[in-house]
Amino acid sequence: MKEYSNSHMEYIINEYIHKDRDRLIMKLHFVDGWTAEEIARHKDVDLSPRWVYTIIDRRLTEISKFL
């Protein structure tokens, strides 16, 4: 993946990911640098790390053409 600025990534996430929880997961991972394990323990996420990785992978596929 090519380099990106935090502001550009946040814009892409806000613009093309429509589910609140998934937007939060993507921002925590790509803007704030959280790991899937850390995100999984977040009070508004409460998923397994494996499921967090799945969401990140699926959503990254969706937005990669805009990066």
Who's near 41: CB < 8 A, 6+ residues apart?
none
Q: How far apart are the first and last CA of the chain?
A: 9
Share of the chain above pLDDT 70, in %: 97
Predicted local confidence at residue 50, as pLDDT? 98
pLDDT per position as a tens digit, 20-43: 999 999 999 999 999 999 999 999
**Confidence band for 3, pLDDT divided at 50, 70 and 90:** confident
Tell me how far apart the alpha carbons of residues 45 and 39 are, in angstroms, rounded to a whole number. Answer: 7
What's residue 67's pLDDT? 84
Q: Can you state the percent helix, strand and coil of the chain, rounding each to 5?
A: 65, 0, 35
